[in-house]
Amino acid sequence: MELSYLSKEQQKILLDAMSLNDCTPSHAQSIRMKKQAQQNTLSSDGIYKIMSEEKGNQTERISFKVQDLKGFFPKNFTQKQMTDTILKLLYEYNRKLERSRRSREER
């Protein structure tokens, strides 16, 4: 609905930007483009810039099933405590690898 307020030319540019970025505009992005179009401030660069934004649901994630992790933690641990512990362990592991690498380089 929001995109119907764009001119035919702006809609063509938007289609090209969608193809280039392999995505569709979010509702919030559509509203922003509509407002800019109504204010006569929506440029082709503006469309490409808006469409190149990373959306929250496009952020890469790694996920685990809680059931797969429960065996490694006390029964009363929350998901946040599990996440915090995993990140802390990965940080410590990375520091250990870094120290080991520096030690090998010094030899």
In this predicted structure, what is the pLDDT of residue 60?
67
Q: 71 with 54, same domain?
A: no
Cβ–Cβ under 8 Å, residues 23 and 15: no
CA nearest 41: which of 52, 53, 32, 29? 32
Q: Which domain holds residue 23?
A: 2-58
- What is the pTM assigned to this prediction? 0.53
Distance of CA 36 to the CA centre of its chain: 24
List per-residue pLDDT tens for the chain, 107 residues long. 999 999 999 999 999 999 988 889 999 999 999 999 999 999 999 999 999 887 766 666 788 888 899 899 999 999 899 999 999 999 999 999 999 998 888 87
Q: 47 with 78, same domain?
A: no
Q: 34 with 51, same domain?
A: yes
Domain count within the chain: 2
Rounded to whole angstroms, the Cα distance separating 59 from 56 reads 6
In this predicted structure, what is the pLDDT of residue 57?
64
Q: 34 with 10, same domain?
A: yes
What's the sign of the alpha-carbon dihedral 65, 69, 74, 79? negative
